[in-house]
Structure 1
Amino acid sequence: MAVKKLCESYSKSFRGEVQRWGCMKQTGVSLRYMMEFGSRPTEKNLLISAQFLHKELPIRIARRAIELESLPYGLSEKPAVLEVRDWYLDSFRDLRSFPEIKDKNDELEFTQMIKMIKVRHNNVVPTMALGVQQLKKGMNPKIVYEDLDEIHQFLDRFYMSRIGIRMLIGQHVELHNPNPAPDCVGYIHTKMSPVEVARSASEDARSICLREYGSAPDISMYGDPNFTFPYVPTHLHLMVFELVKNSLRAVQERYMDSDKVAPHVRIVVADGIEDVTIKVSDEGGGIRRSGLPKIFTYLYSTAKNPLDEQSDLGSAGGLTMAGYGYGLPISRLYARYFGGDLQIISMEGYGTDAYLHLSRLGDSQEPLP
């Protein structure tokens, strides 16, 4: 099946509409706003939320669809990228053909539709990764991957936008949950314990290490488990899982054939006035200084290429990220989405420290690409 360019396979009026919506201004929201607004999921509030999404989502989706059309190095022509573009166009069409939302029934119907859109986009990350791999296979190996700056910047914008779209849809859908977990407002846990989330994420990472290597270094946690602040636990879990998994792998591979006991991976949770910072430290030998710029690029990974093994990344939100080289750059986007950041500091020959900063004020607006 040949996938045609946008101009061939979609009507002129539809193309014009995508362009028109892609030029409109996006509206960002803050974690605090989502929390305060969602803490009273009355019929009226759900209606306001649906009306906001009915206008906001097509703008964000149109922008990405337009960008997917004009990527450098022929990336737009790759079959996997065309598939992603079609998901975005289908979702845009679904949203635009949905009539004005006037009452509770409209709102419930709209909620079902955006739920379907979220499912349709479940595999965007592995499919885009496949497109980039398809590009890489056909490229001159002399090209330095960091030089493909345009592609990195596009993917940063694209994935950041995706985090925002999924957060907005997920938050709205979750507000309909008749039995929300205590202290939860949609996806946001108003009293999240970073120590507890970090513990659970590091146990998950450790069990994957055990499965792959037959053994795993121990993990030591430092921090007050009773300290809480409002955040999205699934985001934090994903980031800590990624950092701990990288540390465990580095230590495991360094000490695998040694008779020395592998040193612990240490996790420290510190509670500051502006930030909650989580440090993950290992003695896995560190990263060469020349390799450090590469760790946040999308075309680099030290693990084997997962395209050689069919792995399903759609299931648990992408818990088997090794090999795509996507874990760190995407974790950094999750941190930045709510005003935080991720820094990696390494001592070659010794180990690596990752600092995950989470903004505890919850006031920063979404960074809208």
Structure 2
Amino acid sequence: MWKRTIQRCSFSTTARRWTAPETTQQPFPPDINEWSHPPSNASISDEEVYRLAAKPRQPLTLADLVKHGKPPLPDAALLSSANFTLSRLPARLAHRIQALRNLPFIVVANPNVSKIYNNYLHSLSTLEPFYKKSITTIEEEIKFTEVMADLVRTHSNTIPTLAQGFLQCRKYIDPAEVTRFLDQHLRARIGTRLCAEQHLALHMASTGDAALQPPDPSHVGVIDLALQPASIVRQCESFVAEVCELKYGIRPSLVINGEVDAEFAHIPMHVEYIITELLKNAFRATIESGNEQYPIEVTIASAPDVTTTKLDALKKLSVTESTNHDFSQDGLEEYCSGDDSEMPPLKTAAPCITLRIRDRGGGISAEALPNIWSYSFTTFNKEEADEAANGGNGNSEGLNAIAASGSNQSSIAGLGYGLPLGRAYAEYFGGGITLQSMYGWGTDVYLTLQGIGKMDDLRKRPSAFKELEMEHRHEHKRGKD
């Protein structure tokens, strides 16, 4: 019988690695290069940041996140997950540091933006002892997992912090530049955070008391192989309706039709964030237009199997400067030139599910419609937006509470981030959001979510631990024969 030594991991906050402040006097006038970005006490050198930022960044797919198998994982698979995570994160972190340094100095020197900049430097410096060699022992994997836990905690408030910083700096940077930067930065953040969270989830499910429990057949880390959109819609409806009742004293009704039993493989926390944002807009528009007697209608449709696989789509993709969100063209070519046999979920047609959210909220005016995907656009008035930039709630407590869902309870209401950020989550794995508005009547929003491979195959696959055990049994049987 296969035996396994169970390792426990306690997540204490890792010590921050700072260097002593420089005491040498700077020349005057100062060297411009020395002042091209805010000073930091993190131990990572500028040369190391430049080296890592120049490395190709490969795409991250849902198939990558399940390739290590279903937990509980044996030691070899757990080490493989750690090394995969380590192969992806340093270049991504360094690239975002470089992007922040390329902002106007007055913007990156803002306390909120500077905080995010220093958070990235800190995270990269804590990874430095690991990425220069492979993780080969469970003890090293435990230390690395503690660093991943610290990384997730450190960056948990990135979105609202950046939102406040850019709103405070709106006099010094063009709105189009803000949208371009945030579109790239927040999409790249999705992949960075997901890499770390997936390894954390696999580790927790494979060690300690969790490894002794029957495995969850429908989960591989943070991915739910049997996610039901109708269930997520009902959860989000309950929350948004309660806040609407608190704010307005009424709650619109919601009906679900179409394929209400449809399910596919995706990341629940992403789907929950997107649907919360879309329902928030639909509920608010319905109430403020006085049409709460009409229910909000959510229709679910599961697209038939398509012939194009995810790997085919990746091979056809061309990464340009404007679409350089989370990986480079060099990294894409390197990824797609690998052995196709190593990526079986990418070679099968993935299920695709579309949700239509229809409301009678009066639609969107022609003047506002071109701006709805801009991070700097908001339907709040200037006083409310200024109050949100300064961290105040003003008279919009209910809407702030709605915006807190999916963003670690940090309010970004009034900052215009809901729709573009929701679309970023949808598009990250090949989905998308489109919108059709009839001004004076209502709005239809179409949310498309791309799944991963053949769901039934993934759900029926045994855990990596059992796969290894069965392999040992087959080898033992062949030896007897």
Give the match for residue 261 of structure 2: 226
Q: Which residue of structure 2 aligns with residue 116 of structure 1?
A: 150
- What residue in structure 1 maps to residue 98 of structure 2? 66
C-alpha separation in 2, matches of 1:170 and 1:360: 19
Query: Paired residue for 1:296?
Result: 373
For structure 1, the residue ranges without an aligned partner over 5 or more in a row are 364-369
Instruction: Provide the C-alpha distance between the structure 1 equivalents of 2:233 and 2:47, rounded to a whole number of angstroms.
Output: 47
Letter in 1 for 2:141: E
Partner of 2:355 in structure 1? 278
Residue in 2 aligned with 1:195?
230
Residue of 344, 351, 354 corresponding to 2:435:
344
Question: 1:50 touches 1:172 (CA, 8 Å); kept in 2?
Answer: yes
Preserved contact between residue 165 and residue 389 of structure 2 (Cα < 8 Å): no
Of 200, 203, 219 in structure 2, the residue corresponding to residue 184 of structure 1 is 219
Q: How far apart, in 1, do the equivalents of 2:138 and 2:295 lie?
A: 54
Do structure 1's residue 128 and structure 2's residue 159 form an aligned pair? Answer: no
Q: TM-score, with normalisation over the residues of structure 2?
A: 0.68
Secondary structure at the counterpart of residue 45 of structure 2: helix
Whether 2:200 is the aligned partner of 1:173: answer: yes
Note if contact 2:356-2:445 (Cα within 8 Å) is conserved in structure 1: yes
Superposed, which structure 2 residues align to 1:1-369 within 5 Å?
A: 6=37, 8-9=39-40, 14-40=45-71, 41-72=73-104, 74-98=106-130, 100=133, 101-136=135-170, 138=171, 148-176=175-203, 177=205, 178=210, 181-255=216-290, 262-273=293-304, 274=306, 275-303=352-380, 304-305=384-385, 306-307=388-389, 309=392, 316-318=406-408, 320-361=411-452
TM-score (norm 1): 0.87
1:296 alignment partner, SS class: coil
Q: How much has 1:75 moved relative to structure 2?
A: 2.3
Q: Is the 8 A contact 1:242 1:331 kept in 2?
A: yes
Q: Which one-letter code corresponds to 1:83 in the other structure?
A: K
CA distance, structure 2, for counterparts of residue 173 and residue 361 of structure 1: 21
What's the CA shift string for 1:218-246, capped at 9, x where partnerless?
11111333321111111111111110110
Tell me what 1:367 maps to: none
* Letter paired with 2:294: P
| CA distance in structure 1 between the partners assigned to 2:44 and 2:256 by the alignment | 57
How many Å separate the matches in 2 of 1:181 and 1:337? 26
Aligned counterparts of 1:209 and 1:264: Cα–Cα separation in 2: 14
Unaligned runs of 5+ in 2: 1-34, 307-351, 394-399, 455-481
Name whichever of 190-199 and 219-228 sits farther off: 219-228
Corresponding residue SS for 1:107:
helix
Post-superposition Cα deviations, 1:187-231, rounded to whole Å, max 9, x if no partner, equal 100011111112211222211211211111111111333321111
Question: Which residue identity is paired with 1:332?
Answer: R
Task: Report if the CA contact (8 A) 1:218-1:265 is conserved.
Answer: yes
Give yes or no for contact 2:36–2:105 (8 Å, CA) kept in 1: no
Of all paired residues, the percent bearing the same amino acid is 32
Q: Greater relative contact order: 1 or 2 (C-alpha under 8 angstroms, separation 6 or more)?
A: 2
Secondary structure, counterpart of 1:122 in structure 2: coil
Coordinate RMSD, CA, aligned: 2.5
* Count, aligned residues: 349
What SS does the aligned partner of 1:97 have?
A: helix
Give the conservation status (yes or no) of the 8 Å contact 1:277–1:355.
yes
| Distance in 1 separating the partners of 2:451 and 2:183 | 23
Using a 3 Å threshold, how does the CA distance of structure 1 residues 346 and 73 change in structure 2: closer, same or farther? farther
Q: 2:429 & 2:283 partners in 1: Cα distance?
A: 27
Instruction: Provide the C-alpha distance between the structure 1 equivalents of 2:365 and 2:281, rounded to a whole number of angstroms.
Output: 15
CA–CA separation in structure 2 for the residues paired with 1:173 and 1:223: 36
Q: Does the 8 Å contact 1:188/1:231 carry over to 2?
A: yes
Residues 70-110 of structure 1, C-alpha deviation per residue, up to 9 Å, x if partnerless? 11484223221111100000001000133732201100110
**Matches of 2:169 and 2:440, distance apart in 1:** 34
- How far apart in 1 are the matches of 2:113 and 2:187? 17
Aligned mates of 1:151, 1:358 — CA distance in 2: 27
Tell me, yes or no, if the aligned pair for 1:31 and 1:362 is still in contact at 8 Å.
no
Q: What are the Cα deviations for residues 111-158 of structure 1, in whole angstroms up to 9, with x where unaligned?
A: 11111111000110011001111112x35xxx9xxx632221111110
SS of residue in 1 equivalent to 2:57: coil
Contact 2:40–2:118 (8 Å) recurs in 1: no
What is the CA distance between 1:33 and its match in structure 2?
3.1
For 1:12 and 1:175, the matched residues in 2 are separated by: 30
Between structure 1 and structure 2, the one with the greater Rg is 2
Change (3 A) 1:175 1:361: closer
Deviation at 1:261, TM superposition (A): 5.4
Matches of 2:70 and 2:268, distance apart in 1: 17
Are 2:276 and 2:405, in contact at CA under 8 Å, matched by a contact in 1? no
| Offset of residue 54 of structure 1 | 2.0
- Compared CA separation, residues 346 and 81, structure 1 to 2 (3 A): same
Which secondary structure does the structure 1 equivalent of 2:52 belong to? helix
Contact 2:298 2:358 in 1 (8 A): yes
User: Post-superposition shift, 1:336?
Assistant: 0.6
